[in-house]
Amino acid sequence: MSFKQFQFIAQINTNINNCGYEHPTPIQEKAIPEIMRGRDILGLAQTGTGKTAAFALPIIQQLLKTSRGNIRALILAPTRELAEQINTSFKELAADTGLQSIAVYGGVGKNPQLEAFKRGVDILVACPGRLLDHLNNHDLQLNTIETLVLDEADQMFDMGFFPDIRRILKHLPKKRQTLLFSATMPADIRKLAEETLTNPGEIRIKMEQPLDLITQALYPVSKRQKSALLLHILKENPTDGSTLIFTRTKYGAKNLAKKLIKAGFSASALQGNMSQNQRQNAINGFRDGKYTVLVATDIAARGIDISRVAQVVNFDLPSTAEAYTHRIGRTGRAQRSGHAVSFMCYDDQAMVKAIERLQGESIKRISIDGFAMEEANEQPPKQKKFQSNARRKSSKKSTSQPSGRRKKNPESNTSKSPHPKRSSNIFGLGQKTKKSSS
């Protein structure tokens, strides 16, 4: 199949060529004709499938038919990095067409965004928080929107953005085309789809996970020995390429990156507490080889096109089996082989079972002398017996809310739940609390 069959205008075809795309990917084959017909779309697809171009190309073609200078396409994305990435794709695919696009998110000054609105924008890629901020300040209007894209809807849900999204929807015209993409489709996403889409075409693209190209291994270890085991593995089994390490918390990512730098590795963290510039430098540095090791949280790394990683290390296991598959899929790309190394502590065993059930086979265990799972040390501390009722109540309270300051943020510094099965979110990234990244 060729891009010619879509009958894009000549400049778009030139831009597709300049991007080096020879053939449409499966999601592009399916979605582009439907979107060009004006249909709403419910797409079950992950980053890495070519979904950005699948919606960007027909949007650009459509926008070139009507007058410029008003915001006519709005793309909502969960993270700043993804918003930048989508905006870059639009800029490349709409090069020399005169269409203007901008990425709008928090953590950076508002003035350049306000100036861009004044100059005129056709395509707005935004994180929900900052966009709502602009709407509340009457900085822009969205009543000229023709197409709305909700990208990575499940991550936006995980990050607590749905109330903001529902507020933003009130500013949009009812008559519009809506495209909703999500890597998973739990009930909350279906509900949003029912509220926002009209008779949508459903497109499911299974991420081709080349699991047979990835060698997977589990290392039983105690929590306190994880850093030492990581250094041991990185030193004893050096890979021919870069290593992407996942931690559960922002604090964990920051700390581990520091330890690795101290041990002589060119490493960087990628986590939500870093400034936008620092996050972009970390991604760029990892892509261009300045950093051979990147220590990231799921939220900071999801949706970002970091491919061709030689090794993925689950320093902390994720809380869902699907997230594990997604993480290890960052390696073993483009027919190259890859390694996925996971640390397994005492209270990770239920999750390991879930992962193995999903994969339909068990993962090889590797024991290294001096490193072992320590059952006794991994148990949460037990309450003292024979407390008075009153003391028992107050100590219960303090277990669930230590010092009354327990953060709910998915990337917060709380330790991993000892009950992975109870985790309610799709990617197990914690409670549905609004994240400050947008």
State in angstroms the smallest separation of the CB of 36 from ligand AMP: 16
State in angstroms the smallest separation of the CB of 286 from ligand AMP: 15
Cβ distance to ligand AMP smaller for residue 53 or 121:
53
Sign, Cα dihedral of 147, 164, 436, 70 = positive
State in angstroms the smallest separation of the CB of 236 from ligand AMP: 33
State in angstroms the smallest separation of the CB of 21 from ligand AMP: 4
Cβ distance to ligand AMP smaller for residue 103 or 221:
103
State in angstroms the smallest separation of the CB of 92 from ligand AMP: 8
Place of tokens 């909350």: 188
Cβ distance to ligand AMP smaller for residue 11 or 413:
11
Cβ distance to ligand AMP smaller for residue 187 or 334:
334
Cβ distance to ligand AMP smaller for residue 305 or 356:
305
State in angstroms the smallest separation of the CB of 303 from ligand AMP: 8
Cβ distance to ligand AMP smaller for residue 56 or 355:
56
Residues that bind ligand AMP (CB under 6 A): 21, 24-25, 28, 47-53, 305
